[in-house]
Structure 1
Amino acid sequence: MLETEFGLRKPTLYESFFYFSLSLLINAIGNGLTVATNMGSSMWTASAANIAYDFNFSISWVLVIYGASQIVLNILLTRSIDLPRILGNIIFISFFGPFVGLFKQLFLNLGFANFSLVTKIVFDIIGICFIAIAISIYQRLNLILHPGDEMTNILRFKYFNGNAKLAQWTNFSIPVLVILILSLIFKQIVAVNIGTAVALFFQGTLIAYADKRIFPNLKHRL
């Protein structure tokens, strides 16, 4: 076990509530920024945005359905059914999808879509960084996770010996495939831009950096 990565003290109930609430808020703000600016979202959100656009669905509902699918994939990866973890996943996606939709609409109402190209790119990259920070916090807390980020955690520590970048790229291969298939069918693509490339190539690195710099006393708990 890597002594520098795993803490010995279990967070208190107050600490757990604080870290989880903060990470959920940061994640929803980050995803809302990337969707509202349309300069590129993280891969799963970009994929969900394309499904929502192509089929005229609410992105909130697409994200919830995605979460349910990821729960099934996690069961296959771990070859076990952990009911408390699954319940935690369901709680997370129940709040996450609507929160992203809420912040997306808030930023659209504030006129983010009409900002200059450079300003939108800056806010989009800030959104990608927010998402990475949020993932880092609640993956380390490992109490209630978004099933997509739990998938990264499973891949990282069960299959890739703690390598955050490799785990993130493997996780992203699924939404990349969805985006490619939809673009071939519908001949259009949304929410894929500079920010998507930043997320694809650097989100794993950003998560690893946040592990060390954001709340460094919060260590990974498996």
Structure 2
Amino acid sequence: MITTQDGLRKPTTLETIFYFSLSLFINAIGNGLTVAANMGSSMWTASAANIALDFNFSISWVLIFYGAIQILINIALIRRFDWPSILGNIIFISFFAPFVGLFKQFFLTLGISNLPLTVVIALDILGIVMIAIAISIYQRLNLILHPIDEMTNILRFQYFNSNANLAQWVNFSVPAIVILILGLIYQQVVAVNIGTAFALLFQGTLINSADRFIFPRLKHRL
């Protein structure tokens, strides 16, 4: 909803397209930046990067596979098939995953790995902040969500009394377990570093802050 002097109204079609396109773009850039920097990605992206490395898959395909698994988890959480949401999840994944791969390659081509360590860390944290901002925007819009973020929304509002931090930590527990298992088996871990700890500790807080300060007139449509 959009706040107005008279209360709340639904976003217009143009507003919806603007908010969704902007959030998708910001999210893909943020994820591509963190993977290319290799100083720590958000937990799901880091987990996908490790699967891609260990099994020699494209990270875009891993993210698509992850999306399918997350859709099944969301069905279990709400205990029903929400077909409009599932279709929206599929549409989101179809656009999001390839863009992450493209931006990852773009930043690698720019030579991000050759920059001073402090700059790379700063860019990695910037990427995580961008991801949180994007999540905040399209969770509030609540039109088409990535299934990861729909899971956070479900946990936040149906299980944890609107607590974004707790919902985010529970959400992150699944990829954390995947990273731990793969690390023990293959004795190598990528995309887990300072940025991962930053995302684990602060991404929920960043989402809450973005709700308040980034497009504050855009309210949650539950």
TM-score range, shorter chain: over 0.9
Q: Could you list the per-position Cα deviations for residues 52-91 of structure 1 after superposition, in whole angstroms to 9, with x for gaps in the alignment?
A: 0000000000000000100000000000111111000000
The aligned counterpart of 1:201 is 201
Q: Which residue of 1 aligns with 2:57?
A: 57
Q: Percent identity?
A: 76
How far residue 187 of structure 1 moved from its aligned partner, in angstroms, is: 0.6
Q: How does 1:1-222 map to 2 (within 5 A)?
A: 8-222=8-222
Flag structure 1 segments of 5+ consecutive residues without an equivalent. none
CA-to-aligned-CA distance 1:151-206 (integer Å, 9 cap, x gap): 00000000000000000000000000000000000011000000000000100000
Shift, 1:9, TM fit: 1.2
CA distance in 1, matches of 2:211, 2:114: 34
CA distance in 2, matches of 1:171, 1:10: 29
Q: 1:113, CA displacement in angstroms?
A: 1.1
TM-score of the aligned structures, taking structure 2 as reference length = 0.97
Q: Give distance in 2, aligned partners of 1:114 and 1:132.
A: 26
Using the alignment, how far apart are the partners of 2:108 and 2:138 within structure 1? 27
Gaps of 5+ in 2: none
**RMSD between aligned residues:** 1.0
Cα deviation for residue 8 of structure 1 reads 3.0
Runs of 4+ in 1 over 4 A off after TM superposition: none
Number of residues paired by the alignment?
A: 217
TM-score (norm 1): 0.97
Any idea what SS the aligned residue of 1:8 has? strand
